[in-house]
A and B are shown apart, each in its own frame.
Chain A
Amino acid sequence: MTAIARLSQKPWIWSWFAAFVVWFATIVVTGGASTFGLSQAALTFAAFSIIVGIGQMFVITLGPGNIDLSVPATMTLAGTVALKLMDVDNAMIVPGLLVAVGIGIAVGIGNYALIKALRIPPIIATLSMSFIIQSTAIWTNRGLRIKPPSVLAEFTTSATLGIPNVAIVALLISLFAWFLLEKTIYGRWISAIGQSMPAARMAGIPVDGTRFATYVFCAVLASLAGYLLACFSGGAALNMGSEYLLMSIAVVVIGGTAVAGGDSNVPGIWGASLFMFLVVSMLNTYGLGAGIRLVMTGLIIISVILLAGGRQPGTR
């Protein structure tokens, strides 16, 4: 088998390929004038989708019906509460981060408690949960916009060696996620559960514990992304998570993770996140209106799925 043929077998190659094509199409129009700026912006904005996307991927890998709709609300609540606690004080950065992670853990526990104790389908459980979280965020926020501590604002908006800091954070999280999925027994358990829950149960895998840990992990990543995003954009806004609901699901699926579960891949998340941002910036570069831009984004997503999807028969 040649290298190219082997590469085209990889589920993540399509999203990388699509991202590269779009990147190239943009560069051609601008005449290479903003190559560096574009790449840097793409890495920065993709970083947030990557962090939430990885969490969502873990959940989706658990099998059909597993999806976390509380991601946007969790991001908003974590960002709001953390900024309120830090209150522009550089000394409070670590407590702020801990509180954000704590919120993530609490949301994850709440989500899984609903799924398990009330036997609610995950999609409805996390939806109801997100209503409650959103309300809490509205209640704590009160329309105030608190600035992030200066060190954090500086960290999230600047770059090291030309690579945006948030992208480095996303890379570290991705490496950790990849290690979890590929090299630990926990990762094997997730895939096994996604392929067949009854079989996993009979094989003696702690199904409940694994699912519980996965929902908590997803919520923690969402709250981390919220924390970083709030610092990056100079304050938490109540709608700051809203676009990440569709985004987190889209990057997972475009990235080549099986929606039916049991098969995930981390590199695809990067390709898909870069792709999603680059599509929007390409259409912006072409100077198209908001309406056309949305239509084009939708059509491009569907065509990528048409091209890349449906490779494995039997998946939903």
Chain B
Amino acid sequence: MKRWISADALRLAIPALSLTVLLAAVFWLQPRAMSYVGLNLLFNLAVPIALATIAQMLIVSVNDLDLSMGTFVSFVACVTATFLRDAPLVGVLILAGAVAVYAILGVVIYLRDLPSIVVTLGMSFVWAGLAVLLLPAPGGQAPDWARALMTMKPPVAPMAIVASIVIAIVAHLVVMRSSLGVLIRGVGGNQRSVERAGWSVVATRAAAYGLAGVFAVLAGIALVGLTTSADANIALRYTLLSIAGVILGGGEFIGGRVSPVGAVIGALTLTLAGSFLSFLRISPDWQIGAQGAILIVVLALRLLLRRVENWEKGR
């Protein structure tokens, strides 16, 4: 059999398929979800998770891992609910500074040859501390524009869907189609060859981390737009969710093999898994566990697909 789809498309097949199956199951269980409002409710919280997943994906594409994603998004949420509303200029400066810190981290990790896991682990304490300093108790208020943006009601498709598609397209253009994206993935694939081709690895890594910071900032703003107020612990689970989303979406930990569209689909799948389980009336005790089980099933499917692929190649 001749290969009629590209490897990239095949990489997307499993995440897309799992999302479709899950969505069909939800519609079957609860037909009322098949509406404008229903879809928006199902996918509402997926938007910040999708943004955080893209941020994590950028870090993964240079062979690193960010364990501070959750605390960073929480920190951004706290800044958004306080400074960005009351003193927009200061708020923007703080967020720009945070993005700069991300870029610096990327450089320091490379120059000093440090394990990214540990540095980001240390940073997670810093972000958590800063968030607690800003908002010792849950509170603050979302800026009106963020609120308006997230509760917008575009025609045809609900905001959550439109936003996810926009995020996927933008991330795809940046990571897969721009020369910077190619460089970033190149650093993940073979750092030395990028270096020998005359590119600056330092600048590329700084860009990858900075870009990740930008997406994580957007995630925090989107989250506050949805929840209207913030809390220092609001997004702690995003660290693990974002990593799971990247892998679910067909990314690999090493080699710069990532898929932005897949990452967004992975984030949507993880969000939908929660709703699916509550529609099944599974006891809340088992909700987290079932999420783990879904993750395992999807990865098992991927293995199966790869086997088939290899078998075809071998013929």
Number of A-B contacts (CB under 8 A): 149
Q: How far is the CB of A133 from chain B (nearest CB, A)?
A: 8
**A124 at the B interface (CB under 8 A):** yes
Query: B114 touches which one: A118, A305, A314 (CB < 8 A)?
Result: A305
Most A C-beta atoms less than 10 A away, residue of B67, B125, B131: B125
User: Closest residue to B113 on the A side, CB-wise?
Assistant: A310
Query: Could you tell me if A114 and B296 are in contact, using CB atoms closer than 8 angstroms?
Result: yes
- Interface residues in A252-287 by Cβ distance below 8 A to B read 253-254, 259-260
Query: Could you tell me if A123 and B253 are in contact, using CB atoms closer than 8 angstroms?
Result: yes
Q: Which residues of B contact A302 (CB under 8 A)?
A: 119, 122-123, 126
Q: Which residues of A contact B287 (CB under 8 A)?
A: 135
- Bound Cα distance from A292 to B134, whole angstroms: 11
- Among the stretches B152-160, B207-215, B239-247, the one at the interface with A is B239-247
Q: How far is the CB of B304 from chain A (nearest CB, A)?
A: 10
**A299 at the B interface (CB under 8 A):** yes
Q: How far is the CB of B215 from chain A (nearest CB, A)?
A: 21
Query: Could you tell me if B119 and A134 are in contact, using CB atoms closer than 8 angstroms?
Result: no
- Bound Cα distance from A121 to B288, whole angstroms: 20
- Interface residues in B89-142 by Cβ distance below 8 A to A read 108, 112-119, 121-134, 136
User: Closest residue to A311 on the B side, CB-wise?
Assistant: B113
Against B, the Cβ 8 Å flags (1 = close, 0 = not) of A280-316 are 0000000001111111111101100110011001111
Q: How far is the CB of A181 from chain B (nearest CB, A)?
A: 20
A-side interface residues, number (CB < 8 Å) = 52
- Bound Cα distance from A293 to B130, whole angstroms: 10
Q: Which residues of A contact B114 (CB under 8 A)?
A: 305-306, 309-310
Against B, the Cβ 8 Å flags (1 = close, 0 = not) of A107-133 are 000000010001111011101111111
Q: How far is the CB of B249 from chain A (nearest CB, A)?
A: 12
Query: Could you tell me if A291 and B129 are in contact, using CB atoms closer than 8 angstroms?
Result: yes
**A246 at the B interface (CB under 8 A):** yes
Q: Given A119-B303, A250-B118, A302-B123, are A132 and B292 neighbors across the interface (CB < 8 Å)?
A: yes
- Bound Cα distance from A289 to B123, whole angstroms: 18
Interface secondary structure of A, over-half rule: helix
Q: Which residues of B contact A120 (CB under 8 A)?
A: 296, 299
- Interface residues in A55-87 by Cβ distance below 8 A to B read 64-65, 67, 69
B-side interface residues, number (CB < 8 Å) = 48
- Bound Cα distance from A134 to B125, whole angstroms: 24
Q: Which residues of B contact A228 (CB under 8 A)?
A: none
Query: B126 touches which one: A249, A289, A298 (CB < 8 A)?
Result: A298
Query: Could you tell me if A132 and B289 are in contact, using CB atoms closer than 8 angstroms?
Result: yes
**B275 at the A interface (CB under 8 A):** no
Query: Could you tell me if A298 and B303 are in contact, using CB atoms closer than 8 angstroms?
Result: no
Query: Could you tell me if A135 and B289 are in contact, using CB atoms closer than 8 angstroms?
Result: yes
User: Closest residue to A140 on the B side, CB-wise?
Assistant: B285
Query: B253 touches which one: A65, A118, A139, A315 (CB < 8 A)?
Result: A65
Q: Which residues of B contact A135 (CB under 8 A)?
A: 285-290, 292
Query: B112 touches which one: A64, A121, A301, A309 (CB < 8 A)?
Result: A309
Query: Could you tell me if A316 and B63 are in contact, using CB atoms closer than 8 angstroms?
Result: yes
Query: Could you tell me if B288 and A134 are in contact, using CB atoms closer than 8 angstroms?
Result: yes
Q: Which residues of A contact B148 (CB under 8 A)?
A: none
- Bound Cα distance from A64 to B252, whole angstroms: 13
- Bound Cα distance from A160 to B295, whole angstroms: 47
**A90 at the B interface (CB under 8 A):** no
Q: Which residues of B contact A41 (CB under 8 A)?
A: none
Listed by A's residue number, 16 A-B pairs whose Cβ atoms lie within 8 Å are A118-B296, A127-B244, A128-B295, A131-B289, A131-B292, A139-B285, A250-B121, A259-B118, A291-B132, A294-B126, A294-B128, A294-B132, A295-B133, A305-B114, A315-B113, A316-B113
Closest 7 CB pairs of A and B: A135-B289, A131-B292, A294-B129, A298-B125, A295-B129, A291-B133, A298-B126
For the A-B complex with A295-B125, A298-B127 known, give 6 more contacts whose Cβ atoms are closer than 8 Å: A124-B295, A289-B132, A291-B130, A298-B126, A299-B122, A309-B112
